[in-house]
Amino acid sequence: MNITVRQQSDEVSVAIISGRIDTTAAPIVEKELINVITGGKNKIVIDLSGSDYISSGGLRVLLATAKELKAKGGDLRLCGLTANVMKIFKLAGFTKVFNLYDTETDAIQSFS
């Protein structure tokens, strides 16, 4: 698993996650996202186009991040869900919980 975070603008950060987001990787993702939030960014796009699996631990991290961002007046957008990850989101009922977008550009523009 690899995570890269970049500043898209003054307000928006983009986290690109590749590889499996399993119980080993979830705490690493959580730490990186917390660093972004504590750095003052409250709008985050997570690009999952390079991930083919997310565990319940990974889903928990995304939920906790979304909750933290909303408390700070921000929001979380997810984009590029692969077929396998989308299947997991559908089974968990998370397609109704998160703002999902096909592309990173669509997710970023949705903040406007």
What string of DSSP letters covers 39-94? TT--EEEEEEEE-S-B-HHHHHHHHHHHHHHHHTT-EEEEE---HHHHHHHHHHTG
User: What CATH code is carried by the domain that includes residue 102?
Assistant: 3.30.750.24
- Please give the Cα distance from 77 to 94 (Å, whole number): 12
pLDDT for position 112: 85
Within 13 A of 100's CA, how many CA atoms are on the CB side?
Answer: 16
Into how many domains does the chain fold?
Answer: 1
pLDDT for position 17: 98
Q: Give the domain extent around 63.
A: 2-109
pLDDT tens over the chain, length 112 residues: 999 999 998 889 999 999 999 999 999 999 999 999 999 999 999 999 999 999 999 999 999 999 999 999 999 999 999 999 999 999 999 999 999 999 999 999 999 8
- Please give the Cα distance from 38 to 83 (Å, whole number): 32
